[in-house]
Structure 1
Amino acid sequence: MKTAFIFSGQGAQYPGMGKELYEQEPIVRQTFAQASEVLGYDMADLCFTENDQLNQTEYTQPAILTVSIAFWRVLAEKGFQADALAGLSLGEYSALVASGAIDFQTAVALVAKRGAYMTQAAPQGTGKMVAVMNTPIETIEECCRKALTLGIVAPANYNTPQQIVIGGEVAAVDAALEYLKEAGAKRMIPLNVSGPFHTPLLQPAAEKLRETLKEVDFSKMAVPVVSTMTAKVISEDEIKHILEKQVMSPVRFYESIATFKELGITRTVEIGPGKVLTGFIKKIDRTIDTLRVEDAETLASTIAQWS
């Protein structure tokens, strides 16, 4: 059985994430200590206590990366390996660390900057994102095009064929929603996110990221990584381009799962906080077995079911 590890994206965070395995596994504590040393603040305190910072993008992103890599290291230490890797947006950095393309300390510093750039490009309140349910993709794209006269609006996340997230400037998104209602869309859910990510509003962040990435060296990948921006296996010479464009480009998650199938993947293990990606996969293709590592219980279950 071929297995892919998939890594959580932003929005999966919650106070207390990682605490149980932090207390049980030395490699988790070591990973948190490495992040704290690089970033200059206590990562365990950020993740385990009630605080406002955990939901602020420049802190959320390194926190999720730290938790995800800590859990991946637990699996690796126990001898469990993947045949392919992917991550939802931010999770792509976790996938690249797991592939050997970049070391964890470099990645955690990089995503802290990425989060800051994204916040600067789209401060709180500058836009909105809405999940459109059970509506043809062509209809959603057409309604976004019609609303462009009022500003930026575009599909941002192709999560499953039944759930497409649109995002952009408030007036343009609201206009697109009106067009969608006229077209018969029944269920549209506003998302509690800090900015309209994966839309052209993030271009300033992409430009700053491009400059920062010039200083980063990537190594040969030991395990193939499927980019959720291109839904294709990443080649080493395009990593920087993909990471730059990724913040302002739509996430193509269900197409990435189709690529996994082409690679012969029959099982996924979601690594990191939450179970959003596992839920998506169950809606995309029920023939794929799904496991998770989020705490001691899911770790034990994944180990028990691995064969």
Structure 2
Amino acid sequence: MIMNIKELKKTLFIFPGQGSQSLGMGTNLLNQFPKLKTFYDVGSEILGYDILDVIKNDEKKINETLYTQPAIFIDSIIRESLLLANNIFPNAVAGHSLGEYSALVSANVIDFEDALKIIKIRSYEMQNAGIENPGKMLALIGATEKQVKKICNKGKILVIANYNSYDQVVLSGDKDSIENAIINCREIGIRKAIPLKTSGAFHSPLMSSASKRVKEIIDSIKFHDATIPIYQNTNPVGEKIGDKIKQNLINQIENPVQWVDIINNMEKDNNSLDFIEVGNGKVLKKLNDKILKKSKTLTFNMINF
């Protein structure tokens, strides 16, 4: 289904996080809209390296946390700018993990430059925390709440990192606990246990060192009240007060992404408006299709400009 941009009115914007990246993502838009290169130029100046070159040409780096996070953020903001330029404005916003930073910019809480300054530190510190405290992540498909609790209780450090949909949760923990969890999942009949390719145990206590360092830069930046409600990973209800949004963001790195509650609340609070996944791919659409009651989710590639 391709929708003409003129058919879209009020929508809800959602922004993807790590795992949505691909080599060359979004760079085709430069052919049609060359002025978008300004975002890459400003981004490269803040980051200290050519982020456009990484996205276009370096398959290894694009999948490393240090580069993945700023690349996804810039790509999402570029796509959002095209929607805004075509008079498509969100009623509310949310982002999955890293995607929350794009949502903050969309809600005018912080600007593009300040968000990228935080992400520059966040990506470095999260990659470094993964080296200091090695961990892994594991997606469970079709597990009951009781089964998930049983698996987590058997681990040394093993927690729920993402409540992604009704039949998918992601666990985060130390390497041994994750490897044992894979075996335990088979034994108790969980349908699927899929190891994820991440550089660390995100949204877990193993990220505590990163969380402390990221807090320092977040605290140094002024957070404005949001112009539209933002539904955050650790607070899945609409929020507009800048200081509360800041504290929720600080809590994010060590705590789970409450995606199911976010999407349910956004749908309920906004009269079942449709969602647009403002980013590369369709990771969030796949999750939303399992959650939503009435609303539908469009991907950016389904929109004809």
TM-score (norm 2): 0.92
Q: Is 2:227 aligned against 1:222?
A: yes
Give 1:238 deviation, angstroms. Answer: 1.7
Asked whether the 8 Å contact 1:87–1:95 carries over to 2, the reply is yes
CA distance in 1, matches of 2:144, 2:85: 44
Aligned-residue offset at 1:209: 1.1
Tell me how far apart the structure 2 counterparts of residues 115 and 10 of structure 1 sit (CA, whole Å). Answer: 11
Question: Is the counterpart of residue 78 in structure 1 residue 50 in structure 2?
Answer: no
1:14 is aligned to 2:19:
no
Distance in 1, Cα, partners of 2:133 & 2:61? 17
1:291 corresponds in structure 2 to 298
User: How many Å separate the matches in 1 of 2:123 and 2:14?
Assistant: 20
CA contact (8 A) 1:202 1:247 kept: yes
Q: Does 1:257 align with 2:263?
A: yes
Which residue of 13, 35, 38 corresponds with 2:43?
35
Whether the aligned pair in 1 keeps the contact of 2:277 and 2:300 (CA below 8 Å) is yes
- Name the counterpart of 1:279: 286
CA distance in 1, matches of 2:163, 2:29: 32
Runs (4+) of structure 1 exceeding 6 A deviation are none
State the percentage of identical aligned residues: 34
* Partner of residue 174 from structure 2, selected from 166, 169, 179: 169
Q: Give the CA deviation at 1:201.
A: 0.5
Is the 8 Å Cα contact of residues 117 and 205 (structure 1) preserved in structure 2?
Answer: yes
**Equivalent runs, 1:55-66 vs 2, <5 Å:** 55-66=63-74
TM-fit CA distance, 1:117:
0.8
Looking at structure 2, the residues matched to 37 and 154 of structure 1 have their Cα atoms a distance apart, in angstroms, of 37
Structure 2 Cα separation of the partners of residues 99 and 203 of structure 1? 27
Match of 2:197 in 1: 192
For residue 261 of structure 1, report the CA deviation from its aligned partner: 1.9
Q: CA deviation at 1:26?
A: 3.6
From 262, 270, 285, the equivalent of 2:277 is 270
- 1:50 alignment partner in structure 2: 58
In 2, the alpha carbon distance for the partners of 1:194 and 1:159 equals 19
Matched residues, number: 295
The CA distance in 1 between the partners of 2:222 and 2:34, in whole Å, is 29
Runs of 5+ consecutive residues of structure 2 not aligned to the other structure: 1-8
Structure-2 residue corresponding to 1:246:
252
Correspondence for 2:6 = none
**Aligned partners of 2:110 and 2:34: how far apart in 1?**
22
Higher mean C-alpha deviation, range 123-132 or range 31-40:
123-132
1:137/1:161 contact within 8 Å kept: no
Higher mean displacement: 206-215 or 45-54 = 45-54
What secondary structure sits across from 1:188 in the alignment?
strand
**1:124 positional shift:** 8.8
- CA deviations over 1:208-244 (Å, ceiling 9, x no partner): 1111112111112111110022212233222222222
Which ranges in structure 1 are unaligned for 5 or more consecutive residues? Answer: none
Tell me what 2:165 maps to.
160
Match of 2:131 among 119, 123, 144: 123
